[in-house]
Each structure stands twice: as structure tokens, then as C-alpha cells.
Amino acid sequence: MVYRVTKRIFDILFSIYSKIFKNPSLTPDQIERMAINKSYPYDKAREDFNFSPVSFEDGIEKLIKEIKYR
């Protein structure tokens, strides 16, 4: 489930969180960077390297198989 909150509400919630947990594992900057869309065109990679994207789920499945058989 995803909840969308304004920056102001997020700042208030994170301030409270930081007071409860003295050394939070994530900073507001890190969380903001996670929210940025990191989708990029891959046309050149497809042409130059015969690249074809895989879904997140398929990528994780392949990674797990590689790790198991190392």
C-alpha cells in the first residue's frame, strides 16, 4: 500500500521519527532520491549491445538463481 504525503507532512513525520530513533537508517535526502523516476530510454543499448529489459520480478528471479549456483 502506498500513501502519498506532502513534503511538509513528510518533514514533520520524519522529525518525529528521528527523535524516537536517534540514528535513523535513512535520511530525508535518501528517501527523496528513492521517489525520483529513474526510467531511461534504452534504445541505444538495444541497438549497440542487443539489450532487452526484463521485469523487476524476472530480474530478481535470475539474480537469486545466479547466487544459488555460484
pLDDT of 27 reads 82
The model's pLDDT over 4-21, given as tens digits with 9 standing for 90+, comes to: 888 888 889 888 988 898
Q: State the pTM of this model.
A: 0.41
* CA distances for 69 relative to 44, 62, 63, 65, angstroms: 32, 11, 10, 6
Say if residues 24 and 15 touch (Cβ distance below 8 Å).
no
| Cell 529513474 found at | 38
Model pLDDT for residues 20-41, shown as the tens digit of each residue: 988 878 888 887 888 788 888 9
